Amino acid sequence: MKKVLLFLSVLLLAFGQVWAQSQTIQGTVLNAADEEPIVGASVQIKGTAKGTITDVDGKFSLEVEPGQILTVSFIGMTNQDVAAADGIVVFLSEDTKQLDEVMVVAFGTATKKSFTGAASVVKADEINKRQASNVTDALAGQVAGVQGLSTSGQPGTTSSIRIRGIGSMASSNAPLYVIDGVPASDDDVSTLSNADIESVTVLKDASSNALYGARGANGVILITTKRGNTRDAKIKIDAKWGVNQRGVPSYDVMTDPAMYYETFYQALYNQYGSHDQANDLLTAANGGLGYQVYSVPDGERLIGTNGKLNPNAKPGNIINYKGAQYTLLADNWYNELFKSNNLRQEYNLSISGSTDKLTYFASGSYLDDSGIIENSGFRRATGRVNVDYQAKKWLKIGTNMSYSHADMKYPEESEQGRSSSGNIFYVSDNIAPIYPLYIRDGQGKIMKDANGITMYDFGDGKTNGQLRAFMGQSNPASAISLDKELYKKDIFTGKWFVQVEPYKGLKFHANLGLHYAGVRYQQLTNSFYGQYAERGGIAYVEADRAIALDQQYLITFDRKFGEHHVDALVGYENYRMTSSYVYGSKNKLFSPDIAEVSNAILGPNTGSATDTYFTQGILVQAKYDYANRYFFSASYRRDASSRFAPNKRWGNFWSVGAAWDIKGESFLQDVSQIDLLKLKVSYGSQGNDALLYQSGSLNNHPWADQYTVSENNGEFATTLDYKGNADLTWETSYNFNAGIDFAFFNERLSGTIEGWRRRTENMLYYQPVAASLGYSFLPVNIGSVSNAGLDLELHGELIKTRNVTWGVYFNMTFFKNKILKLAPELEGQWIDGNRIYKEGEAMYNLYLRDFAGVNPANGNSLWYVNTKDSAGNVIERGGVTETYNSADRYATGDILPKVYGGFGTNLNVYGVDLSVAFNYQAGGRILDYSYMYFMHGGYSNAGHNWHKDILNAWTPENTNTNIPAVNAGDPYTNGLSNRWLISSNYVSLQNITLGYTFPAKLTKKAHIEKIRVYAVADNIALWSARKGMDPRQGYTSAYNAYYSPMRAISGGLSITF
Amino acid sequence: MKAINKYLSVLLVAALSFTACQDWLNAVPEGATKTADQKADAAGANPSAASADIAAIYAQFIQLYAGLGDLGYSRHNDFGYAAICLLTEAQGMDFVGPNIGYNWFGFSDWNSIRENAFQGDGRSVYIIWNEYYKMIHACNNVIELVDPKAPGAMKYALSQALAVRAFCYLQLAQLYQFTYSEATLDKPCVPIVKDRMTGEEQATNPRASVKDVFALIKSDLDYACDSLDGYVRVDNGSVDQAVAFGLRARANLVMKNWAAAAADADQALKLSGATPLSIAEANEPGFADAAAHNVLWGNIIVETNDIVQTGIVNWPSHVSIFFTDGYTSVGATRHIASALYEEIPATDVRKGWWLNEDLESPLLNASIYSLQKEDIQGNPDNVYVNLKFGTGDRTATGDGAAAADWIIMRAEEMWLIKAEGLAKSGGDGASVLTQFVKTYRDPAFAITRDIEDEIWYQRRIELWGEGFAWGDIMRLEKDIVRSTSTNWPEAWVQDVKAGRNILLLRIPQSEIEANKGISDADNNPVDPF
C-alpha cells in the first residue's frame, strides 16, 4: 500500500511542477513482431519520475516539455528511448538481452550479470523442440560440460547425465535434479512433460551449487516449470504425430546362410584338418550348428572340398521327425522381430495467465511413445496446476502440483545389456543367419499350434528334433508376444509455499515439497512356450512406494543501500525419502494372459522391505554487490546424512565467488562493440554420500555390516552380505571455476569461456581386500581424483533483421580426468579386472593384452610379452607369443574422449523456422564388445553370427591380414585385447525441426495468437567409427545388447489463443 | 503484527522438525537386510535369531551368487558348494558335458580354467576361491563369538564351525597344491585365514605351507570330533560328531594316515547309523534327499531358498535330466565318459545310472519319472546321460523339483574310505570292499584290479558327479585320460599327465592385488596345455 501511495504522491508532485510549459502528446506502443498494441507498457519521461501506462489500445497521452526523451518499457521487451513527439508510434521488440536475464539458481534467482558461478540455461524453446519423452535426452549437446550417456532407447527411460567429468569411483556420478526447488527423483523427471518446462539450469561449479551441499557434488540440474505471466489468459495447444524407428543400424554381420556355413566349415576344418569331420560336425548338435537349412542331393556334402557351398544345395530342407515332416528354412530374424508401425503421438494443452495478485498455469498432456519391438512402449498422461497468490501485501502463498500416470511396457531383458535369450536386440543381431524363427510343416508353411498361436522354433529339439547351438530352448519372438512386462506408475509431486515479508526486503519462506511414486510392476512369463511352460507360467507382481518429503525454512534479506546491494539467506532444509516394496509370485496360471499372482496357484514367493534415507542441513548465503559492478558471494552449508555412522554424519560445505562487470567500468562505457564483459571466479566444496553397491544401486547404510536373513531349513541364517565401515564419511569435491561471460557487437556474438578444476577428496571407494577374508571390498574414504577442463559456449546471431534471423551455437568441453591418490596399501596401482588405476593417470585406463597381429606363417594371433635383457631388465613388449595366457597385459592409457559438445543452427525466414542440432565427441576410445563377439573363431560360439570382416581371416592364401584364422579349436581367436579398442569419436544429428508460423495478422482475425505447423525429427543419424557401434552407451564399452536408440519423426501443430 | 505471528509459527515448525529429525538420521533397513546392530538386538530378543550365525555357515553352502554376487555378478554357475562340486568334476575325465552355447560347467578346457584374471572362465576360478573363503569367514565369525571353554550349545557351535572350516581348507588344499606328501609339505598351499586375525595379518597373508594347512585341518577336526560328543542335530544339514569323524577320515586319507582314516570312517558309520542304499533303492534316481538313510551330511535345500527361486540357478537345473525347466533341458546335460561306462558290468545296479548307447536303462523303467521316459529317450544326444540325480519333489516341476538337497557325505563313501584305509595299512580292505559292493551294488562282484585302482574305480562310479573325482585324481596322482572315451567334445579331448602344473588352479589376480603376502611370483606357474 505504501508503495502505491508513494507513487501517487510522486505523480502529483510532478504534475504540479510542469504546470506551466506542458504540452500533451499522444502516442501508441506496438509489438514489433505483430504490430499489435501493447497493453500496460510503461512510458516514462527520462530523468523524471513522471510517466504513464498504455491503455487497451496501446495508446497513451502524456504532458511533456519540449526536448524530453521518453523511455518506453514493458516486461519481456527491450526498453526504447524516443524523443517525445505527438503521434509517435513506438515498436517494442522482444527482449533477447542476456545481461539482465533472470535465471533460476539455488534457492532463488539471480541475474546473469550478478552470478558468480558457472551455470547454463536451456530455455523452453530448445526443450520443446525435442520429442524426447524425457528432458534428460534433450540436455546433452545443448550445454557445455554436460555429457549424456544412454544405454537404452526404451521409451521413458532416463539418460545418465554427467556434468564436468567423473569425480567418483564407487559413488554415484549422477547430478541432483531439482524441480521447482524440490529435489526430485529419476521418476519425477521421466514423468515430467517437456511442454511444462520453462527452463533448465545446469549448475556446474561450487558457488552455484554449494547450497545443495549434501548432494551437489556432481552438479545440479534445476528444472523450472511454467507459470502464468500474461494478463490475458494464454491457451496453448500442441499436437504431434509421428513414427519411431531404430536409430542405430545393426553391425555389418552375415545375412547369407551359405556364407555362415562356409565360414563355420572353415573354422572346423582348421581345427580338425579333415574335410569329412568338418562336414559331419557342421550340422551336428554337439559342437556344431545343428540345423541344415539347405537340402543337398543324397550322398553329397553341404560344403565342398573347395570350402564353398555345394552348388546343388537348395534353400529349405525337409526333414522327418517322429513321423511328421518339417521344413528347415533360414529366417531373417531382424526383419521378423522389429515392428514396422510404431506410432508416436503427443498432445499438450495449457492455459495460463496472471492478474495483479494471482498467477496460474494449468496443463495436461498425453504421450504415446511406442517402442520398436512388440510389447515395449511408454504412455503417459500428466496434469499440472500451479497457482501463486499474493494474499496480503506481506503474504504470498502458492502451490504447484502435478500428477502423472505412466504405463511402460518394458521388456527388461532388453535393458540389461545381457546376452540373454530374452533380449530380442541381442538375439536378432547375434544369431547366425541360418536359423529358422518359425516351425514350418513339410510344405514350408508356418505352423500354428492347437491354441492358434504361431509356432516358433525354440531350437530345443522337442518339435522338429533340432537343437540350436545358439540360445537353445528359447525364442524371443514367442516370449515377446506371449510374455508381459509392464510398469504402471502413479507419480504425484507437490510443492506448497508460504512467503511472508514483514519488512521490506526481509522474507520468511516455508517450502514443502512432496514426491510420491507408486509403481506397480507386473511380469507374466507365459505358460505355452519357453522356460517356464512346464510350470504353467509365472506371474510376478511388485508394488513399490516411494515417498519423499522436503522441508525448507528460509529467511532472505534483499536490500539496496545506495550503491550497496545485499542479498542474504539463512535456512534449514531436510529431506526424507522412504521407499518400500512388496512383491509376490506364483506359478501355474489359470488365465494365460493375466499377470496377477492370484491368477496362479503354486510356488508362492513373497517379500517386502522398507528403507529410509534422511538428510538435513543448515545453510547460509550472502551476496553483495557494489554499484552493480563488483559481485561477491559466499555460502556455507552443514549437512548430516543418515548414510553415515552417528559420529561421521556431519559435513561442512562452502563456497566463495566473485564477479567483476568490466563493461560497467567507465573506461568501457563508450566501447559500443562490447555489451558484456564479465570476469568471474569461484571456489568451494560439496559433498557426496551416494555410495553405490557393486550392483549399481544406492546403498543407504554403507557404514554398517549388512547381513541377509534367509531360511536355512526352517531356521534363521544371517549371512554377511556387505562389509560396512563405520568410519565412512562424506566424499568432498573441491571445485574451482574461472570464466568470462561476454557479448559483443550488440549481442550478436555472445558466450562464456570457463576453466575449471574439480578435485574429489576422501573418495567413497571400495578398497579391494583379499577375497580370502570372506569379502572382496571394504568401503573407505580414500584417495582423490581430479577433473580439469575448459568449457566454451558460443552463440552467434549472423543475421538479425525483422523478418530474417539466423543464429548458430557451438559448445565444447575439453576435460581430463586423473587419479591423484589411491589407498596407500595399493602402492600406487590397482588392477581391477580389465581396468588399471594408477596414481597420476586417468581413471579410465584399461589393462589389456596387446595384440601384435597375426603370424603370417600359421594364422595364429600374436600378443606382446615382456622380455628381459641380459642384465635382467624388463623390456616391455620385447617379444610376442601365440599363447594368450602367457601374454602380458599393458595399460592402454586414457580412453575417455578429450572433447565433447554440440553445435547447431536456427534460422527464421518470414515465419519459416529451421533448426538443426548436432552432438559430438572426439579423442577417446571404446572397447567394442559386440565386434569382439562377432569376430570369434567358432570356439564355443557355434551359431553366433560373424561380422563380415571375418571373411578376411588368415588362410594359407590370404596371409597378409590382421585377422587370425578362424579355428573352432582356438578359444583365443577373439581373446580380449586392445584389438577391440576403437575410436569413440562420433557426430550425431540429434534434431531437425522445420516449422512455419502463420502471419499474426492473419491469425489474429480468427482470435488466434499464433499457429505453427512443424515437422521434427530426433536422433536422426550417428556417425561413429564402426557401423552399428554406438559410443554413446558408456565410457568403457559398447555392446549391442541394449534397447537400440530410436529415431522419432513427427509432424505437429501448435496453436496459441 | 499478524505477520510476526506468521513467521514465528514458521520458525516453530522448523524448530520442531529439527528435533524430530535426529531420530530420522538413525534410519535402518527394514526387510531381509540387517545391520550388525539389528542382528545383535534381534539375538537378544529371539533365541532362534541367536543361532542364526551358525545357520549362516550352512546357508553359505547354498547361497545364490555366493562367489561373485557381491561383485555385482550373477553367474548361473554360482550357486554355492554344489556348483563347486560340478566345476571340479568337469575338470576330470568322467563327467562330460556337451560343448554348446550354455557351457556353464564346460570347465573342461585346460587353458581357460587356468586363467586367474577375472574374465571368461577365469570367473569360475573366482567363484571357487571366493565361496570357500566366505564359508571360512562365516565359520570364523562363530569361532570368534564363542569362548572355547564354553559348555553345551556354545561348544557345539564352535565345533561345527571348526569342522566346516577344516572341510573348506581340505577342499582348497587339493585344488591349489599337489597332494599331501613328504615332497609337498613345505610347498605353498593357500593362505590361512583364522579367527581373531589382525587387519595387518589379513592384509599380508602369504600362502601357508601344505604342512601348516593340514595341521590346521587336523587340529580343528580333532577338536570337533571330541567336542561334538552328545550333540543331537535336528536334521542332516549340520555337522554332528559322526560327520566330524567322516571329515577327519577324509583328511586322514589325503594325509595317508591309512589306519586312522579307516578307523574314523568306521566311527562315522557307527555314530551315524547310516547304511548304504540297497540294490533296490539304488535302482532309482535319487541323491536329492538329505534325510535318506545313507546320508550323513547334506545341504538341505527348500523352496524358499534363493537358488530354488531363480528356477535355473541350482544343481538340478544343471545335472538332473528329470528337471524339465533348466539347463539340462536345453541340452546342457551331464554324461558319464564312455570309457568308464563300458567298464561297468551289466550286473552292477549302477550301470543303470546312465543311459546306454541305445538310450536304455532299467532305472528309467522302474522310475517314478517314467512319464518323462519318452522325452528322454527321444533325444539321441542323451546317450550316457545320467539318471543318477533326481530332483526334489519328484512329482513337481519348477520350484518343488529344484528344492533338492545336495549330498555332501554318505555311508557309501565311508565304506570306501574304510576299505582303502584298511587295505593300505595292511588290513583286509579287500573284503570290506567286496562286502560293500556285493551287498549293495553288484551281487556278482569280484575284485579284478589292483586294490588301489579297484577302490578308485568304485569311487569314480559310486561318487560320480558328487565332487570327489578331482580330489581322487590329485590324491592318487592319476593321469587324466579323456581320449579313450568317445563322447568327450572334440574341443576338450585334452589328456594330462599327473604332476603337471596345469593341474593346479591359479590364485585369483584379485587376491594377489590385495593381499601383500602373495605376489605374482608366488602363484602357481602358468603351464599352457
Q: Are A510 and B55 an interchain contact pair (Cβ–Cβ within 8 Å)? A: no
Looking at residue A920, its amino acid is Y
Write out the three cell numbers for B181.
606328501
Q: Reply yes or no on whether the pLDDT at A200 is more than 50.
A: yes
Q: What is the C-alpha R_g of chain B?
A: 25
Distances (CA, A) of A638 to A730, A735, B439: 12, 17, 79
Reported as a single tens digit per residue, the pLDDT across A575-591 is 999 999 999 999 899 99
C-alpha dihedral sign at A109, A113, A116, A120: positive
Average pLDDT for A842-852 = 93
User: Which phi and psi (to 5°) does residue A69 adopt?
Assistant: -105, 140
Confidence of residue B22 (pLDDT cuts 50, 70, 90): low
Could you tell me if B7 lies within 8 Å of chain A, comparing CB atoms?
A: yes
The predicted pLDDT at position B121 comes to 67
- Chain B positions touching A885 (Cβ under 8 A) are 111, 114-115, 526, 528
Write out the three cell numbers for A464.
522338429
Are residues A733 and A759 in contact, defined by beta-carbon separation less than 8 angstroms?
Answer: yes
Q: Reply yes or no on whether the pLDDT at A108 is more than 90.
A: no
Mutate to test the interface with A, among B176, B369, B405, B490 (most CBs of A within 10 A): B490
Confidence of residue A112 (pLDDT cuts 50, 70, 90): confident
The predicted pLDDT at position A488 comes to 93
Strands (DSSP E) contained in A87-210 are: 88-92, 102-105, 108-111, 119-123, 146-149, 160-163, 176-179, 182-184, 197-203
Q: Chain A neighbours among B 88-127 (CB < 8 Å)?
A: 98-103, 106, 109, 111-112, 114-115, 117-120, 126
More confident of the two residues A129 and A934 = A934
Q: Reply yes or no on whether the pLDDT at A22 is more than 60.
A: yes
- Chain A positions touching B491 (Cβ under 8 A) are 271, 287, 939-940, 968-969
C-alpha dihedral sign at A460, A465, A470, A475: negative
The predicted pLDDT at position B10 comes to 53
Q: Are A831 and B140 an interchain contact pair (Cβ–Cβ within 8 Å)? A: no
Query: Which has the minimum average pLDDT: A561-565, A1005-1009, B189-193, B419-423?
Result: A1005-1009
- A&B contacts, CB < 8 Å: 326
Prediction pTM value: 0.83
The half-sphere exposure of B245 on its side-chain side, counting CA atoms within 13 A, is 24
Task: Find, in chain A, the residue whose alpha carbon is nearest to that of B512.
Answer: A770
Reported as a single tens digit per residue, the pLDDT across A370-394 is 888 878 888 999 999 999 999 999 9
Q: Are B51 and A715 an interchain contact pair (Cβ–Cβ within 8 Å)? A: yes
The predicted pLDDT at position B1 comes to 45
CA distance A760 to A731: 7
Q: Are B70 and A775 an interchain contact pair (Cβ–Cβ within 8 Å)? A: yes
CA distance A279 to A467: 17
Query: Which has the minimum average pLDDT: A419-423, A488-492, B216-220, B248-252?
Result: A419-423
Confidence of residue B133 (pLDDT cuts 50, 70, 90): very high
Could you tell me if B235 lies within 8 Å of chain A, comparing CB atoms?
A: yes
User: Which phi and psi (to 5°) does residue A844 adopt?
Assistant: -100, 85
Please state the three-class secondary structure of A635-675 as a single string.
EEEEEEECCCCHHHCEEEEEEEEEEEEHHHCHHHHCCCCEE
Q: Reply yes or no on whether the pLDDT at B59 is more than 50.
A: yes
Q: Are B3 and A395 an interchain contact pair (Cβ–Cβ within 8 Å)? A: yes
The predicted pLDDT at position A4 comes to 47
CA distance A356 to A381: 32
User: Which phi and psi (to 5°) does residue A604 adopt?
Assistant: -65, 140
Looking at residue A1025, its amino acid is A
Reported as a single tens digit per residue, the pLDDT across A139-193 is 878 888 888 877 677 777 777 888 887 777 778 888 889 988 888 887 788 788 8
Q: Reply yes or no on whether the pLDDT at B11 is more than 70.
A: no
Query: Which residues, 6 or more positions from A5, have their beta carbon under 8 angstroms from its beta carbon?
Result: none
The predicted pLDDT at position A10 comes to 45
- Chain A positions touching B379 (Cβ under 8 A) are 461
Q: Reply yes or no on whether the pLDDT at A817 is more than 60.
A: yes
Confidence of residue A11 (pLDDT cuts 50, 70, 90): very low
- Which of A496, A343, A498, A403 has the alpha carbon at shortest distance from A196? A403
The predicted pLDDT at position A17 comes to 44
User: Which phi and psi (to 5°) does residue B266 adopt?
Assistant: -60, -45
Task: Find, in chain B, the residue whose alpha carbon is nearest to that of A640.
Answer: B25
Q: Chain A neighbours among B 241-270 (CB < 8 Å)?
A: none
The predicted pLDDT at position A412 comes to 66
The predicted pLDDT at position A253 comes to 94
Q: Are B11 and A553 an interchain contact pair (Cβ–Cβ within 8 Å)? A: yes
The predicted pLDDT at position A415 comes to 54
Phi-psi region of B512 (alpha: psi -120 to 50; beta: other; left: phi over 0): alpha
CA distance A269 to A261: 12
Are residues A144 and A810 in contact, defined by beta-carbon separation less than 8 angstroms?
Answer: no
Query: Which has the minimum average pLDDT: A642-656, A1001-1015, B176-190?
Result: A1001-1015
- Chain B positions touching A730 (Cβ under 8 A) are none
Looking at residue B352, its amino acid is G
What burial class does residue A21 get, using C-beta atoms within 10 Å of its C-beta: 0-12 exposed, 13-18 middle, 19+ buried?
A: exposed
Write out the three cell numbers for A822.
589411491
- Chain A positions touching B29 (Cβ under 8 A) are 609-611, 700-701, 706
Could you tell me if B289 lies within 8 Å of chain A, comparing CB atoms?
A: no
The predicted pLDDT at position A97 comes to 52
Confidence of residue B15 (pLDDT cuts 50, 70, 90): low
- Chain A positions touching B98 (Cβ under 8 A) are 285-287
The predicted pLDDT at position A267 comes to 92
Confidence of residue B80 (pLDDT cuts 50, 70, 90): very high
Confidence of residue B267 (pLDDT cuts 50, 70, 90): very high
The predicted pLDDT at position B177 comes to 96
Are residues B247 and B167 in contact, defined by beta-carbon separation less than 8 angstroms?
Answer: yes
Average pLDDT for A346-366 = 92
- Chain A positions touching B136 (Cβ under 8 A) are 772, 774
ipTM over 0.95: no
Query: Which residues, 6 or more positions from A953, have their beta carbon under 8 angstroms from its beta carbon?
Result: A266, A859, A961, A963, A964, A965, A966
Reported as a single tens digit per residue, the pLDDT across A1018-1050 is 889 999 999 999 998 888 888 877 787 888 899
Longest dimension (CA), chain B: 110
CA distance B123 to B107: 11
Share of chain A above pLDDT 90, in %: 46
Q: Are B13 and A510 an interchain contact pair (Cβ–Cβ within 8 Å)? A: yes
Q: Are A834 and B32 an interchain contact pair (Cβ–Cβ within 8 Å)? A: no
Confidence of residue A72 (pLDDT cuts 50, 70, 90): confident
Share of chain A above pLDDT 70, in %: 96
CA distance B374 to A830: 55
Could you tell me if B183 lies within 8 Å of chain A, comparing CB atoms?
A: no
Task: Find, in chain B, the residue whose alpha carbon is nearest to that of A499.
Answer: B7
Write out the three cell numbers for B51.
543361532
Mutate to test the interface with A, among B70, B143, B488 (most CBs of A within 10 A): B70
DSSP state of B508: P
Average pLDDT, chain A: 87
Write down the residue that cell numbers 535434479 correspond to: A177
Confidence of residue A915 (pLDDT cuts 50, 70, 90): very high
Query: Which residues, 6 or more positions from A546, have their beta carbon under 8 angstroms from its beta carbon?
Result: A185, A187, A515, A516, A517, A519, A577, A578, A579, A580
- Chain A positions touching B16 (Cβ under 8 A) are none
Reported as a single tens digit per residue, the pLDDT across A314-345 is 999 999 888 889 999 999 988 888 877 788 99
Are residues A359 and A365 in contact, defined by beta-carbon separation less than 8 angstroms?
Answer: no
Average pLDDT for A68-84 = 81
DSSP state of B373: H
What three-state secondary structure class fits B412? helix
Antiparallel, parallel or unpaired: β B33-35 and A294-295:
unpaired
Average pLDDT for A519-543 = 88
Looking at residue B419, its amino acid is A
